Amino acid sequence: MSALTIFSDTETSTPLWHSTQADEIAEQLNARGMRFERWEADRDLGRDPAPETVIGAYQHAIDKLVAEKGYQSWDVISLRADNPQKEALRAKFLNEHTHGEDEVRFFVEGAGLFCLHIEDQVYQVLCEKNDLISVPAGTPHWFDMGSEPNFTAIRIFDNPEGWVAQFTGSEIADGYPRLA
């Protein structure tokens, strides 16, 4: 179940706000310039689908975003618990970073935890199948795929280079709850 938990950026143990209601999550995130929507991830992709299969199944959703926002490229990120690089990948994404473009993700399988550091708060957004999230360019954040990752998401970009991160060097992510 999708969820949003908001913390102070100095008090990591006591949430300021929490909800599992999609409309409440969207309202909170939209107020901060982020997009959160529930879409239909209704295609049978089989076990561990190839990126081409995922793109083909959801080209209609990608086309909608391209027409709306002018995005230029997209790809698929998919990770399973048996991936031998899962620990290194998790560690990389757990470092707070920003992007020079919006970060758009449509989860078609599984789940992941986006953590957004906005002013003096941390927004932890548990995204699951059917969730679309768009984080504005320049927003400090990190992503936790969990110790046993199992997700597939379509990543949509403003530029043809794809995922390019600028790491902040902050260790803030170390103090917040992680995805099991």
Known binding-site residues for Ni(2+) equal 97, 99, 103, 141
Q: Using CA atoms in the order 166, 31, 75, 178, what is the torsion angle rounded to 10 degrees?
A: 70
Amino acid identity, position 61: A
Phi then psi for residue 16, to 5 deg, are -85, -30
Element (H, E) at 68: helix 59-69
Could you tell me which of 40, 53, 34 has the C-alpha nearest to residue 116?
34
Annotated binding site: 97, 99, 103, 141
Contact assessment for residue 104 and residue 155, using Cβ atoms and an 8 Å cutoff = yes
Could you tell me which of 12, 71, 74, 76 has the C-alpha nearest to residue 43?
76
Annotated binding site for Fe(2+): 97, 99, 103, 141
